[in-house]
Structure 1
Amino acid sequence: MTGVLLPVGTVRLEGDLAEPPGARGLIVFAHGSGSGRHSPRNRMVAAALNEAGFGTLLFDLLTAEEELEDRRTARLRFDVPLLAGRLGQVVAWVRERGRGPTGLFGASTGAAAALVAAAAVPGHVGAVVSRGGRPDLAAGALKEVRAPTLLLIGGRDLEVLSLNERALDRMDQSAGHRLVVVPGAGHLFEEPGTLEEVARLSAEWFTANL
């Protein structure tokens, strides 16, 4: 794994890039509210994707100074346009370096940012996976998402499941979007075996769609 600095507008965001030999594409992670590139759940999924032959890029959507502000106000973590704009610039950075097909993996509010970014640059993002995501926060961008999107929801996360079902209804079904419920899982997929199932389903989705 290699540390990278990602130029995004006037700021530089810290990231961790892992590229197995002959990688079949690169998956960019967008973490959820109050989290970052060190999220143990995302790192576990990223490791599984590396084993499946994909490169991964985990990065902080906020600078260190912004993180401190967000801990006080919880304002920036829900600023989906800001987060999606930064994610889109990181996708452009990846494409400029010829890393192959690009996928997005978003968790919680990061999933909304991933969907908005995918809608903004159709053709630049090959597939999206949302883990316990809030696609409803992507609002009007939902119907514009052309990248096949897998919505993964815990069976015990009933409120978010309902939000995802309604969001899926607003998406263009001709793109092949799908919602899958992971039995017994809560919002954070902390129950034994549930995060491993997320990793398995994600690897299958990216393999089939990138």
Structure 2
Amino acid sequence: MAMGLPEQKTLVKIAADEAYLEGMLELPSHVTGLILFAHGSGSSRLSPRNNYVASVLRDAGLGTLLLDLLTPGEDRHYETRFDISLLTRRLELALTWIRQLPSPLATLPVGLFGASTGAASALRLAALMPGIVGAVVSRGGRADMAGADILRQVRAPTLLLVGGLDDVVIELNKAAYEQMQCERQLHIVPDATHLFEEAGALENVAQLATEWFLKHLAPAKKS
């Protein structure tokens, strides 16, 4: 059921270890759910691709939180960008922060949208918090980096979106798909490369992600 809230756009800071992670929380009026974004290696909450997808989600009544999972200092190190355990921990802190928001925001159903390495952290968090994460969408994601044992534990319905010209990532996603046991779909976007820069490709991704979240997000379970 949609919640009649005023539109909001708020810069937030979430405590993480000895640092703070900056993010942008945006809520449309009559919000029905909240999507937490997990950015890929070398990207940030300012990613034009993820911001476009987020705008389409908000038009459909879904709130969005785009968050920098790494501090500027951490992001300068190649190894940290690929530290899936660290990224998952940061994503978990963000989701915990969401669950502590004032009512009724704290009870909104939550989905995860992951890109590149962010998809691996999103899937790990989905396995860790099966009663909280309602659905997952991966855009050109490295789902395989979540690990086979974790993939088998994921219960949230998961949509894997891969560009039709992104040959290596297609094979990696096919392997991850075979490991997963939840409701899942692997969708190949025709004639698209890894970043979905071709005409109409990103629009396709945004539409598919929106449809997936609207279909699968249900009222969150009480923890």
Deviation larger for 6-15 or 115-124 = 6-15
Does structure 2 retain, via aligned residues, the 8 Å contact 1:36–1:59?
yes
Residue of structure 2 in register with 1:28 after alignment: 36
- CA apart distance, 1:21: 1.1
1:122 to 114, 118, 130: 130
Pair 1:77-2:81 in alignment:
yes
Residue of structure 1 in register with 2:160 after alignment: 151
| Unmatched tracts of structure 1, length 5 or more | none
| Unmatched tracts of structure 2, length 5 or more | 1-8, 218-223
Q: Point out the structure with the larger helix share.
A: 1
Any idea what SS the aligned residue of 1:35 has? coil
Pair 1:190-2:194 in alignment:
no
- How many residue pairs were aligned? 204
Pair 1:206-2:213 in alignment:
yes
Residue of structure 2 in register with 1:7 after alignment: 15
Any idea what SS the aligned residue of 1:151 has? strand
Q: 1:171 to 1:124 in 2, by over 3 A?
A: same
Q: Quick one: distance in 2 between partners of 1:9 and 1:209?
A: 33
**1:13-52 pair list within 5 angstroms:** 13-52=21-60
Q: TM-score, normalised by structure 1?
A: 0.95
Does structure 2 retain, via aligned residues, the 8 Å contact 1:155–1:182?
yes
Does structure 2 retain, via aligned residues, the 8 Å contact 1:26–1:103?
yes
Percent sequence identity is 54
Q: Quick one: distance in 2 between partners of 1:5 and 1:130?
A: 25
Residue of structure 2 in register with 1:103 after alignment: 111
Q: Quick one: distance in 1 between partners of 2:213 and 2:66?
A: 16
**1:124-143 pair list within 5 angstroms:** 124-139=132-147, 140-143=149-152
Which aligned runs of 4 or more in structure 1 are off by greater than 4 angstroms?
none
- CA apart distance, 1:10: 2.6
Q: Quick one: distance in 1 between partners of 2:86 and 2:99?
A: 20
- Aligned residues: CA RMSD: 0.9
- CA apart distance, 1:99: 5.0
